[in-house]
Amino acid sequence: MSSNYISKVAIVGAGGRSGGPMAEELLKTGKHTVTAITRHDSTSPLPEGVQVAKVNYDDEATLVEALKGHDALVITMGAQAPRDSQSKLIRAAAEAGVPWVLPNEWSPDTTNKDLCKDVFIFGKAAATREEIKKLGKSSYLSVVTGFWYEWSLGISNAYGFDFADKTVTLFDEGETKMNTSTWPQVGRAVAALLSLPIQADGGKKEACLDHYRDRTVFVSSFCVSQRDMLASVLRVTGDKESDWTIKKESAVERFEAAKEGMQKGDRMAFARWMYTRVFYPDGSGEYGKTKGLANGVLNLPEEDVDEATKAAMERAKNNPYA
C-alpha cells in the first residue's frame, strides 16, 4: 500500500448474510474497491458495484492471482464450507502479499478460554489466528460480533423463541445478558474498521489499524437478556405477557442435554448446544462488559432493538434459515 489507508478489499462470501452488508457498507464509504472472491461455478447474486474474481480452491494459483494487489481480505463462510477453505485462503493471501486478513469469526468471544473449551468451534479461531501469524506475511484483525440478532431470534433452538406457538424457553430466569449484533451493524463495523488510517495520524491512538494489529475487535448492537428480548417482542406485537407460554430450563442442563443429543446424532441439538453456553451466568456472553467495545471508535450508531426484532419476526414467518 502506498498510502496510509486501505483501498482494495477482497471479500469471500460477498453474497452472503454477513458478507453482503460488509460489501455494501464498504462501497458506501466511497473509499474502497471491493472484489468478491467466488468459486468458478458460483451463481450467487452479489451486491451491485463489486468486482468479481472467480477462483478454484483446488488450484492455489487462482487464489493467489485473485488476491494480488489487495490491501485486505475479509473471509465469511458458512458452516458447510470445506474445512480447509479458510486455510487455503490465508496461505494464498500470504503468497499474494495481502497485509491484512479478517478471518471467519463474526461470533461470540473467541478469546474466552472457558467458552472456547466448551464449544470447540469457537476454539478453532485461535488456531486460525496463529496460522496467520506464523506465515508472517499478513496481520489479522479478529472481529467478535456475538451471534446475529435477526438470525438467532428467529430460530427457536437459538434464543429460545418460537413465534408460531408464542412460546419462549428462558434459560434459568432469562436474565443473563449477552452481546449480539445485527447484520447491518456488522457491515458498518467492518467498513469503519477498514476505513481507519493504518498508522495514527494525530487522532486517538486507538483510532488506527496498527492499534488493532493481531488483536480482537469487539463490536455489538445490543447487550440484552432473554427477558429484554421478550419485552421487545411484546412491544412489537402488542401482546401481553399472558398471551405467551413461558418455560424455564437450566442453562447448564440444557447445554449438557444438547451435547448428549449431538452424540446420538440429533442434528437439531447443535444449535441448542452452541447457543446455550453463551447464556451461562459467567459473563462469557457479555464481552462488552469484560473486554470493552470499539463501537465508539468506529462511530457505530445506536440501533432500535424493536426494529431488529421486527426483522427477526419477519424471517421467522418465512424461512428463518434462509
297-308 per-position pLDDT tens digit: 999 999 999 999
Residue 101 reports pLDDT greater than 80: yes
Give this prediction's pTM: 0.95
90 and 52 inside one domain: yes
**Which tens digits make up the pLDDT trace of 261-272?**
999 999 889 999
Q: How confident is residue 186, by pLDDT bands cut at 50, 70 and 90?
A: very high
140 and 166 inside one domain: no
Q: How confident is residue 322, by pLDDT bands cut at 50, 70 and 90?
A: low
Residue 249's CATH number: 3.90.25
196 and 260 inside one domain: no
Calculate the average pLDDT of the chain.
95
Average pLDDT estimate for 110-124: 96
Q: What is the pLDDT of residue 78?
A: 84
**Which tens digits make up the pLDDT trace of 45-83?**
999 999 999 999 999 999 999 999 999 999 999 877 888
Asked whether the beta carbons of 210 and 198 are under 8 A apart, the reply is yes
Query: Which range marks the domain in which residue 269 is found?
Result: 149-180+222-286+302-315
Residue 283 reports pLDDT greater than 90: yes
Q: Please return the burial class of 67, using the count of CB atoms within 10 Å of its CB with bins 0-12, 13-18 and 19+.
A: buried
- 1 within a domain of the structure (yes/no): no
Share of the chain above pLDDT 90, in %: 91
Number of structural domains, the chain?
2
> Which residues pair with residue 139 across a beta bridge?
100
Q: What is the pLDDT of residue 318?
A: 82
Task: Give the start-end residues of each E strand in 116-202.
Answer: 139-144, 147-148, 161-162, 167-171, 178-181
Q: How confident is residue 276, by pLDDT bands cut at 50, 70 and 90?
A: very high
